[in-house]
Structure 1
Amino acid sequence: MAMSFDPFNELDRLASALFQSNRGQRLMPVDLYQDGGQYILNADLPGVDPGSVDVDVDGQLLTIRAQRTEPTSDDAKFLARERPYGAYWRQFTLGEGIDVERISAHYDNGVLSVVIPVSETAKPRKIEVSSRANAREQMTISS
């Protein structure tokens, strides 16, 4: 089997092993974007048991928790061990104008998607500007 050696990749792996314990917080990369009247948050959680995913809102704080369980086998002898196991945890502060009652989430193919709708009162709306000239024209037309 041919293998390549990347010294920078090996340095990253060693630094991660030194500075991150198995019990610490794991990286949960996210994309957050606005699409029309809602925000979409996509979080990568590959290999996480869907039953361990917890999303909750407390006031203006959105919290995501998940657990990736390490496979256990007494006979396993790892040749490479690079996949992180343990707890995943992220918090996001929600701004004003979010409809927290309608936040929804689903987990599919290792991606957690959270839909955060903007409340109707916070959405931009067009305000009609009237003037006396417009009011006189309307009075003349209706008379």
Structure 2
Amino acid sequence: MAMTFDPFRELDRVAASLLDAQRGPRFMPIDLHKEGDHYVLSADLPGVDPGSIDVDVDGQVLTIRAERTARGDDSVTWLARERATGSFLRQLNLGDGLDTEAISAHYDNGVLSVMIPVSERAKPRKVEVMSGQRTENVQPEVTA
């Protein structure tokens, strides 16, 4: 397989990586859906060390941080290196009615899944309707 060197493509790649490094933390794509009585947030974090993932809840703000480090093998000659390394960050404002104390997270196959349960008091509930005659204490009026 013959590989050709394109200096302009290489220049574009280097410029993009330098600009990326100056921008700070990278954006992580997420999916969010409701399943029963909890929300499920799925964040793509392929190649991230699970120990570098940090999920915080501060008030109503959910913050996800992760770090992907570059492979530090000096004996390798890179032909292409397009996977982003560095810090990843995502913050979401959580609405009312969520049980922020019971949020849990699991990382598997490059996907971080965060379970966000709905609080008990925010769940729909039935109100019992009583039937029959209401008895009230009615005092007769006395006229003088």
Confirm or deny a common fold (TM above 0.5). yes
C-alpha distance in 1, partners of 2:77/2:22? 18
Find the counterpart in structure 2 of residue 105 from structure 1.
105
Shift of 1:126: 2.0
Find the counterpart in structure 1 of residue 118 from structure 2.
118
- Contact 1:30/1:42 (8 A) holds in 2: yes
2:132 is the alignment partner of 1:135? yes
- Contact 1:23/1:87 (8 A) holds in 2: no
Aligned length: 127
- Contact 1:62/1:93 (8 A) holds in 2: yes
2:91 is the alignment partner of 1:91? yes
C-alpha distance in 2, partners of 1:34/1:2? 49
TM-score w.r.t. structure 1 length? 0.78
Aligned-CA RMSD value:
2.5
- Contact 1:23/1:86 (8 A) holds in 2: no
Pick closer, same or farther for the CA change 1:68–1:18 going to 2, 3 Å: closer
C-alpha distance in 1, partners of 2:99/2:34? 14
Letter in 1 for 2:53: V
TM-score w.r.t. structure 2 length? 0.77
Structure number with bigger Rg: 2
Pick closer, same or farther for the CA change 1:97–1:126 going to 2, 3 Å: same
C-alpha distance in 2, partners of 1:30/1:85? 18
Could you list the per-position Cα deviations for residues 44-68 of structure 1 after superposition, in whole angstroms to 9, with x for gaps in the alignment? 1000000000001000000000000
- Structure that is richer in helix per residue: 1
C-alpha distance in 1, partners of 2:16/2:101? 39
Could you list the per-position Cα deviations for residues 31-88 of structure 1 after superposition, in whole angstroms to 9, with x for gaps in the alignment? 0011111000000100000000000100000000000010112232211111000001
Find the counterpart in structure 2 of residue 79 from structure 1.
79
C-alpha distance in 1, partners of 2:96/2:126? 20
Find the counterpart in structure 1 of residue 34 from structure 2.
34
Find the counterpart in structure 1 of residue 64 from structure 2.
64
